[in-house]
Amino acid sequence: MIDLTVAQIADIVGGRLSGISDEAAAAIRVTGTVEFDSRAVTPGGLFLALPGARSDGHDFAAAAVGAGAVAVLAARPVGVPAIIVERNVERPTPHDPAAHDPAASVLEHDTDGSGAAVLTALARLAATVAAELVDGGLTIVGITGSSGKTSTKDLLAAVLAPLGEVVAPPGSFNNELGHPWTVLRATPSTDYLVLEMSARHPGNIAALASIAPPSIAVVLNVGTAHLGEFGSREAIAATKAELPQAVPSSGVVVLNVDDAAVAAMAEKTQARVVRVGRFPEAQQADVWAGPVTLDALARPRFTLHTADGQTDVALAVHGDHQVSNALCAAAVALECGASLKQVAAALAAAGPVSRHRMQVATRDDGVTVINDAYNANPDSMRAGLKALAAIAHGAPPAGKRRSWAVLGEMAELGDDAISEHDRVGRLAVRLDVSRLIVVGTGRSMSAMHHGAVMEGSWGSEATMVADADAALAVLRAELRAGDVVLVKASNAAGLGTLAETLVDEGGQG
């Protein structure tokens, strides 16, 4: 929440006043939140008029003011007090119209440049506010990586909470809209601002980092998400490296050195580097995990080591891949002054927060549902399948359980889409997944089904269905008590609702 007059905001963003006098604009203050959804407007707020897939925010300006907004940031007069910004700005390429942000389609549907104009103004406003808050003592932490950003953001918010007030984005608010929107949630009382940064093209992360320059940066991994857009893993690595390059020499960069491409970024930053990993002998990690074990629900247990001591950690999140995420979060918290005891306690209490990301629920009949349907790329798909196998084949008293993988398409893989989907189908068989339901009818999904068949999944072990409803019908007919079900796909596939339905229909114990 910001505290600026309408006139001050107009000056910051280079806009002109409409529907409000100079005197009134100098007297009226924006003291509420900045919102792009008129239904979320609070008294004293500022409403962003943005185009979208179904409607144009300019059409809801009056409703926003009626709900308490004192002004609207718009690209044309809207009949209520507004700050108008010119539309002759360069239109940036959208990060991810596949839905990494509730309003990620703004630029995709920006036919006249109005959305780009408002987003540019929003960035200027956020940058001004961020600079003032940093001068007042705010610490900004930026996170990037091909996978695991949202999970790590949630863990980081948890481990920093004992140290002060934390603002972090809900879900995956990590692009041109969600990033500055989150920045403007911070106030003078905020101690830590945690920001997640995505990229679909070179320069995306550098642009976000320029809005709220981080003093601490975390790079998790370099995978193959958006490979179709970048063209090569090397190009993805260069773009992720924009974050550590944005950190000043007085700052800290936390690198997951288990990933060689991330480890190499130590040479691309002027900041002090803290290395984390699971193989300290080879990688010379500063923060590392001892031997990792998994409980019956694939929650990791390990010893957290640093130069100053060690402590046992029991994570409340699911999957072996969460160890690297937890190490990065721990390293940041330790740099901010947390003790090892505080870090271990916070990690133990930090369960899944963001929807449809490794949410594990067990029904009254013993069926365990893993809802990881928000996003999917080859790396996260492999991690999800391994977590499924760990739970199904895991520790007593459960014993071996039947496992189901309900998998949808991995978006934006370009020329590698066919081969990557084939690999996922084969991996499901190698991990001894009992049943594979491939959801979708395109070439990529045919490749996933074909890969499973060629790897040895015969008869009804691998099934291909047209959509989520058809997949749900199979599950309703054939699930047995005690089975384990992984539901995973890119968000556009809409499988998150399927997973929620499975849980709701069985009752949650």
The candidate with the shortest Cα–Cα distance to 145, out of 241, 54, 31, is 241
pLDDT digits (tens, 9 = 90+) for 214-223: 999 999 999 7
Residue 156 makes CB contacts below 8 A (sequence gap 6+) with 141, 143, 168, 194, 218, 328, 329, 332, 333
Q: How far apart are CA 18 and CA 485, in angstroms?
A: 55
| Amino acid present at 21 | S
| Cα–Cα distance, 435 to 263 (Å, whole number) | 38
CA distances from 495 to 376, 423, 436, 460 (A): 11, 21, 14, 21
Which tens digits make up the pLDDT trace of 267-310?
A: 999 999 999 998 766 568 999 998 999 999 999 999 999 999 99
Strand order in the sheet with 16-18: 16-18, 82-84, 71-74, 46-48, 34-35
pLDDT at 104: 54
Q: What is the pLDDT of residue 459?
A: 77
pLDDT in tens, 425-478: 999 999 999 999 999 988 999 999 999 999 988 778 999 999 999 999 999 999
* 3-state SS, residue 125: helix
- For residue 415 the two structure tokens come to 């020329």
Q: Which H/E stretch holds residue 466?
A: none
Q: Name the one residue in this structure whose structure tokens are 């609207």.
A: 72
- What local confidence, expressed as pLDDT, does residue 481 receive? 92
In 3D, which of 160, 142, 163, 259 has the Cα closest to residue 206?
Answer: 142
Q: Are 323 and 300 in contact (CB under 8 A)?
A: yes
Question: What pLDDT score does 97 carry?
Answer: 40
Alpha carbon of 383 to those of 6, 204, 256, 390: distances in Å?
A: 48, 26, 16, 10
Rg (CA), the chain: 24
Residue 56 DSSP class: B
Say what the alpha-carbon torsion angle 436, 259, 194, 103 is, to the nearest 10 degrees. -50
Q: For residue 229, give both structure tokens.
A: 């857009």
Query: Token pair of 185, please?
Result: 């949630």
**To the nearest 10°, the Cα dihedral for 377, 380, 386, 392?**
-90
Name the nearest CA neighbour of 301 among 318, 285, 284, 286.
Answer: 318
Report the candidate in 11, 197, 285 with the shortest Cα–Cα distance to residue 121.
11
Tokens of 251: 């700052």
Cα–Cα dist 459/449, whole Å: 12
Spatial separation of the C-alpha atoms in residues 209 and 251, rounded to whole Å: 14
What is the predicted pLDDT for the residue at 441?
86
Number of Cβ within 10 Å of residue 332's Cβ equals: 29
Distance CA 325, CA 166 (A): 18
Distance of CA 394 to the CA centre of its chain: 28
Looking at the DSSP bridge assignments, the partners of residue 294 are 300
| Cα–Cα distance, 309 to 311 (Å, whole number) | 7
Pick the closest to residue 152 from 363, 336, 14, 327 (CA basis).
Answer: 327
Write out residues in the chain with pLDDT < 50, as ranges.
94-103, 396-397, 509
